[in-house]
């Protein structure tokens, strides 16, 4: 089994930066034997996390950056996403699965992250997201 693989990127917004980080994580997970289901889950959760941080977290921060750190070993993949915004209260986000909210086009990113990852934690003041995917969760 290969050694733990770690990565770090500063994201400013362009799509190519997100794609490059996604590819690096995917390659590391493949090296550690994570299956198709795991790769799908992490790709979806990371997409939501990184886009949320860039588009919403740093919305009012001129030239804002997102600090993205990750590590993958044979048991788990860990992700840390920090934006430079003032944060938010994730508990205040309406439940998108309520019948009354089903027709609202936005607000599903956090619930998808929670559904697909083993752990999702927004740390105070809400601009630091920590996520874990454990290999035992999927294939």
Partner 1 sequence: MANDSSRLRISAVNDVVRIDFVDRDILDEATIRQIGQDIQRKLEPMTAPKVLMCFGVVEHLSSAALGTLITVNSLVKKKGGTLRLAEIRPEILEVFYITKLNKHFSIDESAEAALKALA
* Contact pick of 12, 59, 115, 125 for partner 1 (by CB under 8 A): 115
Residues 128, 82 contacting (CB under 8 angstroms): yes
Two tokens, residue 90: 């994730």
**Alpha carbons 62 and 113: distance in angstroms, whole number:** 27
If one asks whether residue 123 binds partner 1 (CB under 8 A), the answer comes out as: no
* Contact pick of 109, 122, 127, 133 for partner 1 (by CB under 8 A): 109
Closest to partner 1 by CB, 103 or 124:
103
Q: How far is the CB of 117 from partner 1 (least distance, A)?
A: 12
If one asks whether residue 87 binds partner 1 (CB under 8 A), the answer comes out as: no
If one asks whether residue 17 binds partner 1 (CB under 8 A), the answer comes out as: no
How many chain residues interact with partner 1 (CB under 8 A)?
A: 23
Sites of contact with partner 1 (CB under 8 A): 15, 37, 40, 43-44, 47-48, 51, 55, 96-97, 99, 102-109, 111-112, 115
């Amino acid at each position: 089994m290969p050694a733990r693989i770690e990565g770090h990127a500063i994201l400013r917004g362009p799509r190519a930066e997100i794609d490059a980080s996604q590819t690096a994580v995917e390659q590391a997970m493949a090296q550690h034997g994570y299956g198709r289901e795991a790769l799908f889950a992490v790709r979806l959760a990371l997409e939501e996390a990184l886009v949320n941080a860039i588009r919403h977290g740093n919305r009012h921060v001129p030239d804002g950056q997102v600090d993205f750190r990750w590590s993958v070993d044979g048991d788990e993949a860990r992700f840390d996403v920090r934006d430079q915004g003032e944060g938010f209260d994730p508990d205040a986000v309406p439940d998108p699965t309520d019948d009354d909210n089903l027709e609202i086009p936005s607000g599903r990113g956090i619930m998808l992250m929670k559904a697909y990852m083993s752990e999702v934690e927004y740390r105070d003041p809400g601009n630091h997201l920590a996520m874990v995917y454990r290999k035992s969760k999927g294939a």
